[in-house]
Amino acid sequence: EADIYQTPRYLVIGTGKKITLECSQTMGHDKMYWYQQDPGMELHLIHYSYGVNSTEKGDLSSESTVSRIRTEHFPLTLESARPSHTSQYLCASGDWAEQFFGPGTRLTVL
Amino acid sequence: AQTVTQSQPEMSVQEAETVTLSCTYDTSESDYYLFWYKQPPSRQMILVIRQEAYKQQNATENRFSVNFQKAAKSFSLKISDSQLGDAAMYFCAYRSRNSGNTPLVFGKGTRLSVIA
């Protein structure tokens, strides 16, 4: 079992709310990633980081933002949630040879 | 840009039989990693097997093995003696070793069903 954690695991929230999805890893990895995935579908990279104070946008345009102030922590924030944000969000960390995934946060925006 | 193609959206296999999942990729580079990841229903994604492009020998992990054809840019996954627990989404992925910090490139996935 990889040491990468995501909270909350499930979140139901109303439109317009600000939310932060937490991701932490204890493996000391510099590289961390956020993916959006509808159930049973392909992965879409939305943000990644290669170290503290480094963040990049991924392939999928996203209204979310991320920060990387500490190596082990890579939170994702939605300033104003909308129903179109309903999805599963996967966090991952790794090195060149392997990438470990967290259990995911299933977000529903009403 | 590199691309990864999984041409089989869905596959099924009888328990105890063998199944092969296809993956092709496009790259101009010679040094890279290839991966197969498994995502069981409502469970965490895990690495199944990894292949380094400079290694000619095909990687194996217990019942899982790959057929790596570098010239053809093909990287198929063979699952032998299929078990009910093998039912999952399987993603093929590519990472360059030469292009600095680049994320994994994933295929769209193949959903594998195992029939008892």
Residues of A in contact with B111 (CB under 8 A): 40
Does residue B42 come out as left (phi exceeding 0), alpha (psi in the -120 to 50 range) or beta?
A: left
A34 touches chain B (CB under 8 A): no
Residue A35, pLDDT score:
96
Residue A75: is the preceding peptide bond cis (ω within 30°)? no
> pLDDT grade, residue B24 (50/70/90)?
very high
Best of B32, B36, B44 to disrupt the A interface (most A CBs within 10 Å) is B44
Q: Which residue of A has its CA nearest to B10?
A: A40
Residue B80 CA to residue B5 CA, distance in Å, equals 22
φ, ψ (nearest 5 deg) of residue A64: -90, 165
Q: Provide the shortest C-alpha distance from residue B9 to chain A (in Å).
A: 10
Q: What is the DSSP string of B51-78?
A: EETT--SPPEETTEEEEEETTTTEEEEE
Residue B58, pLDDT score:
95
State mean pLDDT over B13-35.
96
> pLDDT grade, residue B62 (50/70/90)?
very high
Query: Which of B91, B95, B108 lies at the smallest CB-CB distance from A96?
Result: B95
Residues of A in contact with B29 (CB under 8 A): none
> pLDDT grade, residue B75 (50/70/90)?
very high
| Residue segments in chain A with a per-residue pLDDT below the cut of 70 | 1-2
> pLDDT grade, residue B99 (50/70/90)?
low
Spell out the residues 6+ positions from residue B55 whose beta carbon is closer than 8 angstroms to its own: none
Q: Which residue of B has its CA nearest to A30?
A: B101
Q: Number of A to B CB contacts under 8 A, please give it.
A: 42
Best of B10, B52, B96, B101 to disrupt the A interface (most A CBs within 10 Å) is B101
Residue type, B26: D
Q: Which residue of B has its CA nearest to A55?
A: B101
pLDDT above 90 for B21: yes
> pLDDT grade, residue B100 (50/70/90)?
low
If contacts are CB pairs under 8 Å, which of residues 78-107 in chain A contact chain B? 90, 92, 96-104
